[in-house]
Every structure is written in structure tokens, then in C-alpha cells.
Structure 1
Amino acid sequence: MKGALTRYRIIAWIVGVVLVALVVVGMPLKYLGDDPVVVEAVGPAHGFLFMVYLVATFDLSRRAHWAFGRMLLVMLSGTVPFLSFWAERKVSREWVPAEEPAKSPV
């Protein structure tokens, strides 16, 4: 389970960063600056990485016994800029135990 969560967290961050780069940098350059270079380079990479994200999310959802609706919502979070970061954090907080405060030696 820990390996599936780690894989999901890594790919969620990668997909999130690539999607933000595509939307914040690539799309304005393409439509406002008439320069599609970033979209042509980053777009296919995001498409491939999103497929990896879907597989990692499916793997984690099966191991964690999520309901189908929850799995679908987490998968869809990779399509909205910044939402994959929030979803990753929410999923991680559920499965990673909170650190206990340090106990005093007295």
C-alpha cells in the first residue's frame, strides 16, 4: 500500500506541474503570442503522464478499497490546474499517520 501511495503522490505532482505549465505558459503563448512551441512540446507529455496518473490512481484505489465515485473524482482532479495538488494532499493525509509531538524526557 505504501508503494502505491508513493507512486500516486509522485505522479500527481508531476501531472500537476506539467498541467500548470501547459495552461499558464503554453496556452497564453499559443493563443496570445501565436507561438505554439510550448503546447506542442508539453501537451503530448502531459497526455502520456496523465495516463500514468490514471493507472497509479486506479492501483491505489483498488488497494485502498475506494468507492468507484471517489476513484473517479481523484482521477478527474488531474484535469484541472492545481486540483491534483489538493487531491494528493487530501489522499496523503488520510493514509499517512500524523506525526506525534515530541515527548519531553521528564
Structure 2
Amino acid sequence: MKNENVVKFGHINTIEGYSYLALVFIAMPMKYFMDIPLAVKVVGMIHGILFILFCMLLAKAWHEAKWPFKESVVFFIASLIPFGTFFTKAKIKTYE
């Protein structure tokens, strides 16, 4: 039986990773090179909401799947590094 919160966390992990890449590699260059600050406002808001959901689902999944606290810290730190969340996908699958 799959743990639903871990599955949801896996999905938000991927979506949040894409939003972070969009913020860093699309919206920020639009702001600084094309003088379009609205791009960062919109993408930044979306990324912020997704990051809050990521943190909430990380806590729920950690609690329900009973994985070590160290794993949760690794997942959180990976979310702060561009492309980091994509390296944790295989590890999340082991907890489903």
C-alpha cells in the first residue's frame, strides 16, 4: 500500500523544483536583462506558495513514513539547490 502523503510530497517536490528553475533561469534574467520585474513577482509568488506546500508535505510525509530526521534535512537542503530536488526523487520513491 502506498503512503499517500509521501506520493503527494514526491509530486510537489518535482513541481517545486521546476518552479525554482523557472524563477532562477527565466524570471530573474527577464528582470535584470529585459527590465521586466513583473516576471519575478509572478513566478516568485507561485514558487513561494509551492515552497510552503513543499515544507508542509515534507513534515507530513516524514511523520507518516517514519523516515530518519536526517533524510528530511537532506530533502529540505536539496530543495534550496537548483536541480537538487531532482536528485532526491529516487530516495522518495523508496518510502512510498
- What interval of TM-score do these two structures reach, taking the shorter chain for normalisation? 0.7 to 0.9
The size of the alignment, in residue pairs, is 95
Deviations 1:48-100 (A, max 9, x none): 110100111111111222222221221222222211111122221x235xxxx
Match of 2:31 in 1: 30
Q: CA separation in 2, counterparts of 1:68 and 1:90?
A: 14
Q: CA separation in 2, counterparts of 1:67 and 1:13?
A: 21
Match of 1:45 in 2: 46
5+ long unaligned stretches in structure 2: none
Match of 2:95 in 1: 95
Q: CA separation in 2, counterparts of 1:75 and 1:13?
A: 13
Share of identical aligned residues, percent? Answer: 27
Structure with max Cα Rg: 1
5+ long unaligned stretches in structure 1: 97-106
Question: Does the 8 Å CA contact 2:65/2:95 hold for their aligned counterparts?
Answer: no
Deviations 1:2-43 (A, max 9, x none): 201211111111101111111110111112222112111010
TM-score (structure 1 length as normaliser): 0.79
Relative contact order (C-alpha < 8 Å, sep 6+): which is higher? Answer: 2
Counting only pairs closer than 5 Å after superposition, residues 1-106 of structure 1 correspond to structure 2 as: 2-92=3-93, 94-95=94-95
Q: CA separation in 2, counterparts of 1:39 and 1:85?
A: 22
RMSD: 1.5
Q: CA separation in 2, counterparts of 1:14 and 1:3?
A: 17
Larger helix share, 1 or 2: 2
